[in-house]
Amino acid sequence: MRLFHVKLAVLAVVACADPSDVLYEPEVSAPIEVSPGLFRLTTNPGPDYVRGVMADGRVLYLTSGLQGGPSDPGIVSVDPAGGTVRSEAGAYGTVLPGLIINDYHATDTRRTLLTVIPPRGRDHYCGDIGFPAPTPAFVAWRLFVLPGTDGAAFSSLNRFERTLPLIQNAGFDASGRPNGPKRIRFVPALHDADSSGTRALGPAISASGQHAYLSDADSIWRLDLTDTTVSPVAITEGSYPVLTAGGEALFVARASLADSVSTPTVVVYGLIACSQTIVTYTVGEWTTVRVDLASGTEDTIGIGTDAALLGDTALVVRRPDGLHALRLSDGVSTLLMDDPTATSPAVAPDGSFIAFTSRRFGNPDVMLLRFQ
């Protein structure tokens, strides 16, 4: 396999204006009823991804930009009955260079911001691994512990970081560049999050605000948010962590029945043509498991992933045909929303509605399913 190192220079010119020169009104969301009990809460031209429901009932979501307002993407919230869209996480709630915000969580005692750094490639390879290829190490996430008020620089914040290798090199040449065979790791949770904008990594935050449970797409780790000197502890395998109301157990999702399809192709990059194989991976099934945090014992709840607590007796989970209520006592499933594109369900504190992301109108939008 030959190694080609390609350098590409890009010149970007950005025109900036003083904010006082721009007149706009804050975005206002007005729910649109698309069928009895089902409402479309956002209609932005870009994607919007549900990230939860706050203690006051406001729907928290990651937006690609506000219509008629600031263009930067970030974490925002809106009342489920409609109203002005409000930025959350203060000055920390917009995307930083090289970072992708994945989630924001706020309690009475703690604020956290989860960011993801996407793969960045410097070298480009011809071969079965794909072209161009990401770098051998992928920073799965960084969790920042935010101060009670804005002002502190990001560089001064307490943070936790976890890396996950995607491509592993078998050898290196004399100059330190990889030149041996390479192995791709298929990571179902990252694939799922990338393709559907879900919260595969978490976090799940304890009621006290002391502990966070995060997935690196392989394992669930417990972090002590009050003391960064305490090493993270691996709890169990899985992704999509959800804590029980009392914090005694954790629900996680595990993938199975993975499959792949290989397609030979020729990729042209500038003056270089590479013969290679494109490998498409799929996951046949996700199973939700309950893990007791004290004893480590496990109980299989049923088929589904992307869970959210539905009271004390059930979970809302995602299946290929839509959202289901999965009863904890016996795993019996009831279809709640017939929508194959539905992801990231979040239940209101009073149980009056479920917010979720849907592509039923082509673009990822925030939807509400209200209970009569």
What's the mean per-residue pLDDT of the chain?
78
Which of 117 and 202 is assigned the larger pLDDT?
Answer: 202
Convert the pLDDT of each residue in 120-148 to its tens digit.
443 334 444 443 443 444 556 888 888 87
Confidence of residue 279 (pLDDT cuts 50, 70, 90): low
What is the pLDDT at residue 9?
28
List own/partner pairs for 205-211 with CB under 8 A and 24 or more apart: 205/105, 205/107, 205/110, 205/112, 205/243, 206/243, 206/247, 207/107, 207/247, 208/109, 208/247, 209/107, 209/108, 209/109, 209/110, 210/110
> In the chain, pLDDT over 90 holds for what percent of residues?
39
Q: What is the mean pLDDT of residues 224-244?
A: 93
The amino acid sitting at 35 is S
Query: Tokens in use for 94?
Result: 């917009």
Q: What is the mean pLDDT of residues 150-165?
A: 80
| Nearest-angstrom CA–CA distance, 214 and 26 | 34
Which of 169 and 59 is assigned the larger pLDDT?
Answer: 59
Residue 233 has pLDDT above 50, yes or no: yes
Query: Tokens in use for 296?
Result: 């480590």
Query: Tokens in use for 268?
Result: 């042209």
Which of 66 and 327 is assigned the larger pLDDT?
Answer: 327
Convert the pLDDT of each residue in 53-102 to its tens digit.
998 999 999 887 544 444 456 788 999 999 888 888 877 776 555 556 77
Q: What is the mean pLDDT of residues 206-222?
A: 90
Residue 15 has pLDDT above 50, yes or no: no
What is the pLDDT at residue 183?
56
The residues near 34 (Cβ < 8 Å, ≥ 6 apart) are: 40
Taking residue 308's Cβ as centre, other Cβ atoms within 10 Å add up to: 24
* Cα-Cα-Cα-Cα dihedral sign, residues 341, 52, 91, 202: negative
What is the pLDDT at residue 68?
42
Strand ranges of the sheet holding 322-327, from the earlier edge strand across to the other edge = 305-310, 314-319, 322-327, 333-338
Q: Which range is least confidently modeled, 41-50, 65-74, 197-206?
A: 65-74
Q: What is the mean pLDDT of residues 314-342?
A: 95
What is the pLDDT at residue 38?
96
**Could you say which DSSP state residue 210 is in?**
S
What is the pLDDT at residue 348?
95
What is the pLDDT at residue 8?
25
Residue 292 has pLDDT above 60, yes or no: yes
The two beta strands, 137-146 and 28-29, are: unpaired
> 171: number of CA atoms within 13 Å, CB side?
7
**Range of 26's domain?**
3-370
Query: Tokens in use for 135?
Result: 């770098």
What is the pLDDT at residue 67?
46
Residue 161 has pLDDT above 80, yes or no: yes
How many angstroms separate the Cα of 233 from the Cα of each of 116, 139, 214, 345? Answer: 20, 18, 10, 27
| Nearest-angstrom CA–CA distance, 158 and 143 | 8
Residue 299 has pLDDT above 60, yes or no: yes
What is the pLDDT at residue 277?
65
- Residue 199's Cβ-count burial label (10 Å; 0-12, 13-18, 19+) is buried
What is the pLDDT at residue 56?
92
The residues near 257 (Cβ < 8 Å, ≥ 6 apart) are: 283, 284, 285
CATH of the domain at 37: 2.130.10
Domain count, the chain: 1
What is the pLDDT at residue 179?
58
Query: Minimal CA–CA distance to 354: which of 134, 26, 57, 138?
Result: 57
Which of 295 and 27 is assigned the larger pLDDT?
Answer: 295
Extract the runs of DSSP E, i.e. beta strands, from 244-364.
Answer: 249-269, 272-292, 298-303, 305-310, 314-319, 322-327, 333-338, 343-347, 353-358
Query: Minimal CA–CA distance to 77: which of 16, 122, 32, 27?
Result: 27
DSSP H helices in 60-129: none
pTM score > 0.75 for this model? yes
What is the pLDDT at residue 125?
40
Taking residue 78's Cβ as centre, other Cβ atoms within 10 Å add up to: 24
Query: Tokens in use for 136?
Result: 């051998």
> In the chain, pLDDT over 70 holds for what percent of residues?
72
